[in-house]
Amino acid sequence: MNHSAQPMVTDKQAVDSLLKTIRIPPRPSLLVEMQKELNKNEPSAQGLAKIIANDVSLAASLLKLTNSSFFGLRLKAQSVDHAVGLIGTTQTGMLMTGIIARQSINASALSLGKFWDFSTKRAQALSAMVKRFPVCSSDVAHTFGLFCDIGVPILMERFPDYAETWKKANNEFDLPLTQIEDNHHITNHASIGSLMARTWGLPEQVSTAILLHHDYSTLEDTATEDSVRGLIALSTLAEYAIQKYEGQESSAEWFKARERVCQYLGIGLHDAEDWCEELQDMFNHNH
């Protein structure tokens, strides 16, 4: 008995020592202050504006985004106070969390433009999808959409050959994507992303959904919280829509997950394609 238990211990030690070498960005103090304000029973727009105004680059980013065509507001925000008043505290919190995440993940040698573009589209798609399939609030869905693959740039920073692994894993039609990562690096982007979400004090269903988002058997596991399963199902469909929008012919993840996703959402494959088209229209509109 003892003999067969040995390798497990070694593996756990290997994982533990590896984790010590992976830099999980600490939770920025500004995010802590923002979360405190947003978690109050009645968050104050002025209180939130005051926190944001303390950071010049964040304040500038908020104004730029509020006045962008994405919101299409009739009025242009003149100040941080005005911006928070126009778009509301929840929306401000979502935007700021995204900007702070971008600033914290600076895998130096990498061009992460495409990564953030994909993450932003997924966050927007999930915010819209939970209105139709209400598994959680739209701000939780948005946060999950943004942070879902946050482990990817962290692992790129740690392993010079991770980009190759990621590419290979995304083209794997049989094995789970995370298994390919585990085989090469003893860890995967879902575990690391979940760890970062917990470190940053994001909602528990977000860190759990990040951990499990490539384990499609979760969709059939009634012991798992509904919000977690819903986020996994919706994000898998959202990613398929984004890949189609970007002209990708086939999607390995959709191939592996589609039957379980459709079953969980109570829709047919044909309906899933309709959802994709609606999301693609939304991406065109937001572009």
pTM of the model: 0.89
Residue 120 confidence (pLDDT) above 70 = yes
Residue 107: what pLDDT? 53
Residue 266 confidence (pLDDT) above 50 = yes
Residue 52: what pLDDT? 96
Residue 5 confidence (pLDDT) above 60 = no
pLDDT tens-place string over residues 214-253: 999 999 999 999 999 999 999 999 999 999 999 998 999 9
CB-based contact 45:31 (threshold 8 Å): no
CB-based contact 258:268 (threshold 8 Å): no
pLDDT tens-place string over residues 188-206: 999 999 999 999 999 999 9
Residue 8: what pLDDT? 44
Residue 12: what pLDDT? 79
Residue 106: what pLDDT? 67
Residue 10: what pLDDT? 57
Across 127-131, average pLDDT: 94
pLDDT tens-place string over residues 155-178: 998 999 999 999 999 999 999 999
pLDDT above 70 covers what percent of the chain?
A: 94
- Count other C-beta atoms under 10 Å from residue 282's C-beta: 16
